[in-house]
Structure 1
Amino acid sequence: MFAAALTEVILASEHAPITWQAVATAAVAYAVAPVPDIDQPESWVSRHLPGASIVSMFVRHRTLTHSLLASLLLYLVLFGLGFHIPQWLATGIVVGWVSHWLIDLVNPMGVQLFYPLPWWVKPPVPWLAIGVESAGETVIRVALTAFVLIFALAYLLLHAPVEVQRAAAHLLPAARRLVGAVTWPWLGACCRFLHLT
């Protein structure tokens, strides 16, 4: 859900039109987000992708696959080596991958973000840490799911035909406030610099 939420915020920050590519980008990010856990033998990815469990035999959990190095290599493969990968697909893959370790930064274990350096990045205050399968994780999952759905509806309303906007005129101010609150020009600028949109 964090991958889908992050994708929506990126698209809104870029003032992206509503197209099938925008929807597909969010769907790809959502689908790719669990993949960095290929380094965990009990993960869904390791159990369901043929041969995936081999990775966990050589890579410690939350190290290489959760690092800036892996994210940079993935970005270079998708954007820098001249492969003709559709923009929406490449963006969805990168955002999904990065969203995974970003959300893992709030876990008590943290991630070895600067792999191969042995430094683990964890929440600075222990009570801010949210454990896997904890009540805190459930609250975050529910909140992110609600955000994804409400934000998508608000963004759709703001880009709907005039007739639809007139019929839902009482919802327009709230939709504008919500979309405006998470439309960050600096994020749009970063994404343009990285060619993500």
Structure 2
Amino acid sequence: MLQKTHSAAGLIAAEAVLVRQNVPLLSWEAAGAVLLGCLVATLADVDKPGSTMAKALFPLSALLRLLNVRHRTATHSLAIVAVLWLLTRPLPEPYGTVLIAAYATHPLIDLLNDRGVQLLWPLPPKIRLLPSFLAIDTGSAGETAFRWLLLAASLYIPLSTVLGPLLSHIGIR
């Protein structure tokens, strides 16, 4: 998937954490968490030469290349999600939870691609959720449609959080 699709998923992850933790969506704390979610959701692609993250974090990308880490292997695995979870424990809320939730969306969304991911790395099999004929190809019209669904969900979450209680209060819901 493209960076903008991963960022949309990170946005949803951040919003979900904020709602769950009762953080006001119109606050500086929420703004920081949403920005963090959008950025961290693309971090797993640091293993892909030429990606924005590989360019932004060139020393890490170069190290991964030296270690022969291929795309959609270690950085897309549950093992790295677990390591990040341990490393982010000291972070204040909601930022630690947003970081983990947004990062985890990356391999989950890539499971919808025909190439799948090595989710159980270092075990070798690549896993995908959809059969080839339903898989979402990177940069395809299917990915664009999927991204628009994610963006619609990213609008629904804050609107339902704000408007839901208001509509209930006036008896519409």
Normalised by the length of structure 1, the TM-score is: 0.72
What RMSD in Å do the two structures reach over aligned CA positions? 2.3
Residue 26 of structure 1 corresponds to 34
1:110-133, Cα deviation, whole Å (9 max, x unpaired) = 110000000111124222210110
Residue 102 of structure 2 corresponds to 96
1:36 paired to 2:57: no
Alignment of 1:18-97 (within 5 A): 18=24, 20=27, 21-57=29-65, 58=67, 59-79=69-89, 83=90, 85-97=91-103
Task: Decide which structure has the larger Cα Rg and report it.
Answer: 1
Alignment of 1:1-197 (within 5 A): 1-12=8-19, 14=20, 16-18=22-24, 20=27, 21-57=29-65, 58=67, 59-79=69-89, 83=90, 85-158=91-164, 165=166, 173=173
Identity, % of aligned positions: 32
How many pairs are equivalent?
Answer: 161
Tell me, in whole angstroms, the C-alpha distance in 1 between the residues paired with 2:30 and 2:144. Answer: 27
- Give 1:65 deviation, angstroms: 0.4
Tell me, in whole angstroms, the C-alpha distance in 2 between the residues paired with 1:55 and 1:123. Answer: 30
Paired AA for residue 15 in structure 2: E
Tell me, in whole angstroms, the C-alpha distance in 1 between the residues paired with 2:47 and 2:135. Answer: 21
- Give ranges in structure 2 of 5+ residues lacking alignment: 1-7
Normalised by the length of structure 2, the TM-score is: 0.81
Tell me, in whole angstroms, the C-alpha distance in 2 between the residues paired with 1:114 and 1:146. Answer: 31
Paired AA for residue 8 in structure 1: E
- Give 1:23 deviation, angstroms: 4.2
- Give 1:56 deviation, angstroms: 4.3
Paired AA for residue 75 in structure 1: W
**Contact 2:78–2:120 (Cα < 8 Å) also in 1:** yes
Displaced runs of 4 or more, over 4 A: none
- Give 1:137 deviation, angstroms: 0.4
Query: Which structure: greater helix fraction?
Result: 1
Paired AA for residue 99 in structure 1: T
Q: Structure 1 residues 62 and 141 mapped into 2: Cα distance closer, same or farther (>3 Å)?
A: same
